[in-house]
A and B are shown apart, each in its own frame.
Chain A
């Protein structure tokens, strides 16, 4: 067809150096990642969260946290498989968004659901594995969030920083376990997240094995 001989207009002369070109990406991910929080707040204010709005808010926030943590963990495997560079650029934002929702989830539990009744909260954490697992995930995320800056990375050294941040996998697994323990009977949905997580982990292991093989030549 004639169209094929037309010059393609969407190839700009020379792309500008890496940094600026995807400058919109991280702000877009952060903005999009905060949309569910705004929607949830608006629905809560309108009384549109059903008969048990507190339980509904906790469920949504918990699920958002898990989804974003899994997305953050998907960045490296996606880069391994596709060789794209952009997934790594949004990995940290996704992780911090996940942390934001974990905090919101915990705060709704502690402040609204338990009315800051410290004894009841401590009893929940110490006596009930379901709560303990979720709480452990929250606590393990704290050092990761605290060392998410470039300065912290420099201060720790890349090797140590990387080792610490492998905890992200532990946190996501704890998140899935917490979810499995929460549902009364049907584990389909948490199992789905577990399967995604296992797939991501498998890609990393295969890549690691291949790299080792390459080194040995």
Chain B
């Protein structure tokens, strides 16, 4: 007959009540950890935005001519020490910030979305149409267009209407040179621009956040101003999709939304053209949209701005610091009314 193992002394037996409680404590601990983890991850998933996209910079097409920095237009007048509005010496905003913090609603509404979604936008092949009140209406392939004028690097401040700002080294050419070549007729008073309309490349055009395609406009004298440029690159590289590849407008004394991206059409017109943000919220966004610290946006003050990378805000300058060059364009106008 086999012997049963010796039973443990009764003093070592866990009392049943305590045994059950131990199980209960373990169960409670498990429930605590599980619930806290579920609550925490749920909240983070719901409210924490994702990481920023990693950007791989595309080099410029090899056959594009980029002149050395010395070819950048010098200061209009005065001594060598005079300020050069075409190249500010303020620290440049890092490439990573310039290319991951964008407003390009056709590629998503959050700042990081355009960089993440830009893959769908194909900047080649690309055709730009010039039409309206010009003597030489035509369609031009982007490669051809970019060879019409030497590309220049210009370092401009960019002030967004949302009170943040950047300093960006653009690569492009003055819009005025292009307009001269197209020969506006005497009836041309304004320039109207349109973005590509193609929901396959710009998927958020399927939503009705704005009336698509995005439209912008300038008065002819604004468009002819030497500071106004069409950019095809930044930081010496091709424009990434999220920054408006392959061709965008840059008007440094106006809020950033005037800088229409991925342009396919430029028309000279007689009447003030419709512009997208003005159509969407006329009280908040005017046709002129000149940077003006004295005219508050209905929801925030425009007196200060945060340069991306800074913690403290800095005062916003009239015409974004380009008043010396452009204020005369608006002589006699009430800029509180024409905001």
B-contacting residues of A (Cβ < 8 Å)?
A: 12-13, 16, 23-25, 27-29, 31-36, 39-40, 43, 48, 50-52, 54-56, 59-60, 63-64, 67-68, 112-113, 115, 120, 123-124, 127-131, 181-182, 184-186
Contacts and interface: CB of A to CB of B under 8 A. Distances in A.
Interface in B92-134: 96-97, 100-101, 105, 109, 111-112
B123 to A, nearest CB: 23
Contact of B31 (A28, A59, A184): A28
Interface string B153-178: 00000000010100000000000000
B35 A128 contact: no
Contacts of B32: 24, 27-28, 31
Given A13-B20, A130-B299, 5 more contacts: A24-B31, A39-B48, A52-B308, A182-B299, A185-B209
A33 B313 contact: no
Given A12-B20, A36-B47, A124-B300, A31 B36 contact: yes
Contacts of A184: 162, 281
Interface stretch (B38-46, B81-89, B188-196): B38-46
Contacts of B28: 23-24
A23 B309 CA distance: 46
B109 A186 contact: yes
Contact of A64 (B29, B43, B308, B309): B43
16 contacts: A16-B24, A28-B34, A32-B43, A35-B41, A36-B43, A43-B48, A50-B49, A50-B100, A51-B308, A51-B309, A54-B311, A56-B49, A63-B46, A64-B43, A124-B300, A130-B299
A40 B49 CA distance: 10
A112 B312 CA distance: 8
A32 B36 CA distance: 4
Given A128-B298, A185-B281, A35 B111 contact: no
Contacts of A56: 49
Contacts of A25: 31, 35
B265 interface: no
Nearest to A189: B109
B66 interface: no
Contacts of B100: 50-51
A120 B304 contact: yes
Contacts of A29: 35-36, 39
A50 B112 contact: yes
Which one of A23, A68, A182 has the highest number of Cβ atoms from chain B below 10 Å of its Cβ?
A23
B39 A51 contact: no
Nearest to A185: B209
B181 interface: no
A163 B166 CA distance: 50
A24 B101 contact: no
| Contact residues of A: prevailing secondary structure | helix
Nearest to A182: B299
Contacts of B296: 127-128
B300 to A, nearest CB: 7
Contacts of A127: 296
Nearest to A124: B301
B301 A36 contact: no
Contacts of B41: 35
Contacts of B306: 52, 54
Contacts of B207: 186
A103 B43 CA distance: 18
A120 to B, nearest CB: 7
A129 B308 CA distance: 26
B301 A120 contact: yes
Which one of B35, B47, B101, B312 has the highest number of Cβ atoms from chain A below 10 Å of its Cβ?
B47
Contact of B101 (A31, A36, A50, A67): A50
A133 to B, nearest CB: 10
Given A48-B51, A50-B52, A127-B296, A115 B39 contact: no
Interface string B202-213: 000001011000
A28 B35 contact: yes
Nearest to B23: A12
A28 B101 contact: no
Given A52-B164, A67-B47, A185-B209, A24 B29 contact: yes
